[in-house]
């Protein structure tokens, strides 16, 4: 493929600079496109059994995208070749599909030429189970086919294109997960925060952010706030649940419980985290089937066992009701202890009661 030129080195810098910035990313793609002799560029997503969409483009006109996705994607001859093109190689239509077939192709005659495009070159970027991404370049009709030097220029940039696209896809996936996490938290009406032992909040729902804004200054020097976080994060021995009443107009009851190290909210943090839920006397009950199950990552079997224990059934009675062995419910109970940061059955039920009921009921 030859040595990377000075111009290509500058393009590589633009690609990596654009990983976190869409505008810079589009600027980098335009630079790649111009360097390989293209007019437009697009990142294409192929999903079996044949769905194709324009995942990203800095300059492809919207009418072209609409035409392609509504009809011509199904007639794109590139689908025959692109999946067979090895990573590190290119598909060039004039060479691989052939000029004779291009002249007889509905895709080229009715679509490509109508939009003043005459040639296409693409290369595989990222291949995952169920999804493949390709970088595609289109050339104006009057400029003829892509030449060998255009392909060579693209191949020199392919390793950097692949890495930058992989990182952008990973970033987009992380952003989606963060959005889903936030949506899950916001579904809880009560203030909910995820914090470390020093009180630094890693994540909070909307109600939690409002509560933190109202009481954050007071909490920084509040001994009980520090105590429950230290307890739930394991700074004072084994991590376990703790609670205290914060004397506020709403008479808040603050419960902190350890967040398991493998929890999705804890994955990006090296320090132990605590799940903090604030209940007020006017608070609405939390559903065990919904919020608590999600927050503690309870399995359906663990949820069913906990519901039976809340009905004052013994472990033996719960095992009989669930039609499982006593050893099985003992194992499930041990898992409940680990997930909720409790050590005894009475402590577990008290914690769930405090979380599930308004503080006024829990206090009684």
pLDDT tens digits, one per residue of 111-146: 999 999 999 999 999 998 888 999 999 999 999 999
Integer Cα distance of 164 and 100 in angstroms: 36
pLDDT reported for residue 78: 85
pLDDT digits (tens, 9 = 90+) for 320-353: 999 999 999 999 999 998 888 788 887 787 777 6
Chain segment 301-325, per-residue pLDDT in tens: 998 898 888 777 889 999 999 999 9
**CATH H-level superfamily of 6-179:** Transcription factor LuxR-like, autoinducer-binding domain (3.30.450.80)
For residue 82, pLDDT beyond 80: yes
pLDDT of residue 355: 67
Q: Give the rounded distance of the alpha carbon of 327 from its chain centre.
A: 37
- Reported as a single tens digit per residue, the pLDDT across 181-224 is 667 667 667 788 889 999 999 888 888 999 999 998 888 889 99
pLDDT at 290 over 60: no
What confidence tier does 2 reach under pLDDT thresholds 50, 70, 90?
A: low
Residue 97, pLDDT > 70, answer yes
Give, in order, the Cα–Cα distances in Å from 346 to each of 69, 169, 227: 59, 46, 21
Assess whether pLDDT exceeds 90 at residue 282.
no
Average pLDDT, stretch 152-162?
Answer: 95
Question: Residues 6 or more apart from 269 whose CB is under 8 A from it?
Answer: 196, 202
Q: What span, in angstroms and rounded, lies between the C-alpha atoms of 146 and 123?
A: 13
Buried b (16+ CB within 10 A) or exposed e, 6-24: eebeebbebbeebbeeeee
Least confident of 8-22, 55-69, 275-289: 275-289
pLDDT value at residue 92:
96
Does residue 35 contact residue 8 with C-beta atoms inside 8 Å? yes
Residue 285 is predicted with a pLDDT of 44
**Per-domain residue ranges of the chain:** 6-179, 187-363
The pLDDT assigned to 121 comes to 97
- pLDDT at 187 (0 to 100): 66
CB 319 within 8 A of CB 338: no
Query: Quick one: DSSP state of residue 147?
Result: P
CATH topology of domain 187-363: Arc Repressor Mutant, subunit A (1.10.10)
Nearest to 147 by CA among 126, 167, 125, 119: 119
pLDDT of residue 207: 87
Count CB-CB contacts under 10 A for residue 94: 17
Q: Which residues contact 267 (CB under 8 A, 6 or more apart)?
A: none
Does the pTM surpass 0.95? The reply is no
Confidence band (pLDDT; 50, 70, 90) for 361?
very low
- What angle, rounded to 10 degrees, do the helices at 22-35 and 148-186 form? 170
* Range among 37-51, 94-108, 205-219 rated most confident: 94-108
| pLDDT of 17 strictly over 60 | yes
User: For the residues 262-274, what does the mean pLDDT come to?
Assistant: 68
Question: Which residue bears the tokens 């007639």?
Answer: 75
Residue 246: which pLDDT band, with cuts at 50, 70 and 90?
confident
Q: Radius of gyration of the chain from Cα atoms?
A: 29
User: Whole-angstrom Cα distance, residue 50 to residue 48?
Assistant: 5
- 271 Cβ contact partners less than 8 Å away, ≥ 6 residues apart: 196, 197, 233
Q: What is the pLDDT of residue 364?
A: 32
């Amino acid at each position: 493929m030859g040595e990377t030129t000075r111009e290509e080195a500058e393009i590589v810098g633009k690609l990596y600079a654009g990983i976190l910035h869409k505008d810079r990313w589009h600027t980098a793609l335009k630079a790649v496109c111009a360097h390989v002799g293209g007019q437009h560029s697009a990142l294409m997503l192929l999903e079996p059994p044949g769905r194709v969409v324009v995942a990203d483009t800095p300059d492809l006109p919207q009418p072209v995208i609409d035409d392609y996705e509504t009809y011509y994607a199904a007639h794109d001859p590139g689908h025959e070749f692109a999946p067979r093109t090895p990573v590190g190689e290119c598909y060039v239509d004039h060479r691989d599909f052939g000029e004779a077939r291009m002249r007889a192709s509905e895709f080229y005659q009715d679509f490509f030429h109508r939009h003043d495009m005459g040639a296409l070159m693409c290369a595989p970027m990222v291949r995952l189970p169920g999804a493949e991404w390709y970088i595609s370049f289109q050339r104006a009709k009057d400029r003829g086919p892509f030449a060998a030097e255009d392909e060579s220029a693209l191949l020199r940039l392919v390793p950097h294109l692949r890495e930058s696209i992989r990182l952008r896809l990973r970033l987009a996936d992380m952003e989606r997960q963060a959005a889903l996490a936030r949506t899950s938290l916001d579904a809880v009406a009560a203030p909910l925060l995820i914090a470390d032992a020093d009180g630094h909040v890693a994540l909070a729902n909307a109600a939690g952010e409002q509560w933190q804004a109202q009481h954050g200054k007071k909490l920084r020097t509040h001994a009980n706030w520090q105590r429950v976080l230290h307890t739930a994060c394991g700074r004072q021995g084994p991590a376990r649940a703790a609670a205290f009443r914060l004397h506020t107009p709403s008479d808040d009851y603050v419960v902190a419980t350890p967040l398991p190290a493998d929890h999705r909210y804890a994955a990006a943090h090296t320090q132990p985290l605590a799940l903090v839920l604030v209940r007020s006397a006017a608070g609405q009950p939390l559903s065990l089937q919904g919020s608590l199950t999600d927050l503690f990552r309870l399995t359906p079997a663990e949820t069913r066992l906990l519901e039976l224990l809340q009905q004052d059934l013994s472990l033996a009675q719960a095992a009989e009701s669930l039609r499982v062995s006593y050893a099985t419910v003992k194992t499930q109970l041990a898992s409940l202890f680990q997930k909720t940061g409790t050590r005894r059955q009475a402590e577990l039920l008290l914690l769930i009661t405090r979380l599930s009921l308004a503080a006024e009921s829990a206090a009684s």
